[in-house]
Amino acid sequence: MSLLCALLAATQLTVFAASSLREAFLELARRFEAEHAGVAVSFNFAGSQELRTQIEHGARADLLASADERHLRALAEAGLAEAPRSFARNEPVIVVPSGNPAVIHTLRELSRAQRIVVGAPEVPIGAYTLRIFEAAAARYGHGFRSAVEARIASRELNVRQVLAKVRLGEADAAIVYRTDALAAQEAVETISIPADLNVVADYPIAALRGAPQPALARAFIELVLSPAGRALLARYGFQ
């Protein structure tokens, strides 16, 4: 009951953030709440596109941290968000279940997997995956692309669902962000994608126009961009 009262009395800062930011932003929020007494940060973690749609349809939020520049730029152009600032970079990697049942060590060996799970092309991780496959096909030949496509069992709508399939052992390989691979700890093994074939995701953040708590939104963004915030993000695998 006292907890409920505290929650009701607290000023709410509502943060919309890409699924891949979950762990890092939860920790940032704890720090933010410690620095701002009486403020409670509440989150909506989802695919960046889903968050954008929610905002376009009137969801009340103070700020958005997206895994894709496109969505926040579109919101800014529509007058729904302030100018986005880039705060982190995240690199796609291959993850396999621990023990690596399909014995994959490089991107080129990806088609050894019986079952590959990737993101749908409509969500950022899926769009990056497509670009990686295109670059890889240019180098390894079109046989690589078709062999990999034939093994794709599902195109998931957010990166954490992609990761979950590998954690459960349902997929032999998947492409997620390095931060997701780190979050899964011992459940997965990580294989880097050659830098010249890889696409690095730029994460922008911006306060939303009409934010119920504009001052707090700016303070949260300052924390994210501060050296302490960047160090914290780096611990979760962001660059």
Q: Give the footprint of other proteins on this chain (CB under 8 A).
A: 47, 49-50, 53, 56, 115, 117, 120, 122-123, 152-157, 165, 168-170
> Looking at beta carbons only, is 46 or 207 nearer to other proteins?
46
> Looking at beta carbons only, is 61 or 123 nearer to other proteins?
123
Q: At what angle do helices 159-167 and 124-140 cross, to 10 degrees?
A: 70
- Closest distance of CB 169 from other proteins, Å: 5
Are 104 and 174 in contact by the 8 Å Cβ rule? The answer is: no
Distances (CA, A) of 16 to 83, 99, 169, 212, 213: 16, 35, 30, 13, 13
Coil vs helix vs strand at 207? strand
> Looking at beta carbons only, is 53 or 146 nearer to other proteins?
53
- Closest distance of CB 64 from other proteins, Å: 16
> Looking at beta carbons only, is 104 or 216 nearer to other proteins?
104
**From CA 37, how far away is CA 226, in angstroms rounded?**
20
- Closest distance of CB 174 from other proteins, Å: 12
- Closest distance of CB 95 from other proteins, Å: 16
Closest CA to 46 of 26, 20, 10: 20
